[in-house]
Structure 1
Amino acid sequence: MDGSAADDLSGPTLPHSDTSSDSGDDLHLIYPDPQFAERSAAAGALRRLAHAFVRHRTDPETLAEITAWADATAERLEAASDPVPRPQDYFARRYVDPRPSDGSEVMAFGDRAFSGPANPTAMEVDMRRHGEGVRATVSFGAAFESAPGRVHGGAVCAVVDDVLGYLMVCLGIAAYTARLEIDYRGGVPIDEPVIYDARETRRDGRKSHVELAVRAGNAPPDAPPLIEAAGLFVIVTADQLGS
């Protein structure tokens, strides 16, 4: 899993253009949100609250205030508008949109599960196309702690699947997770950045075989990974989406 991306990935030819370039800090946001900055700031404050709530203790009066505020705010939000559904063309756009440029931050929805900055239940994630793969820098706060100082394995796995999903975006294919195998070789630390690196190793028709490794943020590139994963994604072709 430590080698470079496979040179020869056989499979369906991508029907859209590749706009790969060294674009630095560009954001490839598939579904823009006019309130992206405001919603991300609010979600960030709620994430801070969640981690503080888990890590600290307070008096009953403060807990009652938090309960009343949270319930009232939720009721206000629920009454303000109908729920916003996810767009139905999420997969179809893989075959008409340009691929994210190399080095760009990649994001589907601002409030995407596990990685969206506008989702208060997400982790702190910076997801970028890295050559023909994906590299994500992830920090897990106190709300995801299990064993002392270590991230819960389920939270680690959730981000593994999310990073591999974004690998499909960067490859320009629509695909579902069919199989995911994870080897937990070391504990993932709380409150410290870790690096997720994912790549496609080969393609057999509609089968995309992938690998992923997780290392501490300050570890050298050849350091043994904390987590290794291998998976199989099944591609849904543009023709199948059309039918």
Structure 2
Amino acid sequence: MKEQKPLWTMGVLMLLVVATFFTINQWNQKQEKALADQKQELKNKNEKLSLEIERLQSTNEYLKDQPSAEQEKNGYHTWPEIEKNAEILVSESDGNFKKSWAMYLVKEAQRYEINPFLVYELLKVETGGTFDPKLVGPETKYGHAYGMSQFMKNTAPWIADMAGLPYEEELLFDPYYSMQLSLVYLDFLQNKYDDWDEALTAYHRGMGGLKEYKKENGHAESWYAKEIQKKAENHTAVVLAN
């Protein structure tokens, strides 16, 4: 007859089995959590790597599309030159052309790839050297011309529309608005005629007036066009020399 183990021994064994099972289960859970954390960390790293690869590819594509000269056109590189040219305009005008106007003109002229000295000389001629933004020109059969750029009310609205700007008569006396219209109009005329003599004469006399001038003289080299271009070239030569 076999000797039976005491019931308490069986209980102890059962507790040991349960404890072992619980311990193994806890260990498995910790391992699963550690593995899940590793997978998540790896996933995060892969996502960051993918984003970095995408950024580098986009940057590379952008740089391939940008000539080295274009990369030099950001503000950090161009601002000193803009300020230098602006100071020339202020000095040349004996302070009549304000520094903020000059900075604006040089920066915007750069956008349209127009020589800022040419626009400055145009404004100088139009205002008689005063650069008065409130100037009202003498009466003509077409009416008065207004502001620093001397636009007439029959011309200014469609140029403002072309520039994507609102039009109100009082805006013609805003120097920045006036300069912007002059740049847009000059850009339009230069693209139309591909010749600065014609573009400037058309600015001064109107497109119809340009046709009449060419018919009478056989060319578009009006005093207005020649004077503005000559003085603008002189300014440019001084800048290049320095």
Q: Output the TM-score relative to the length of structure 2.
A: 0.21
Structure with more helix by fraction: 2
More strand by share: 1
State the TM-score, normalized to the length of structure 1: 0.21
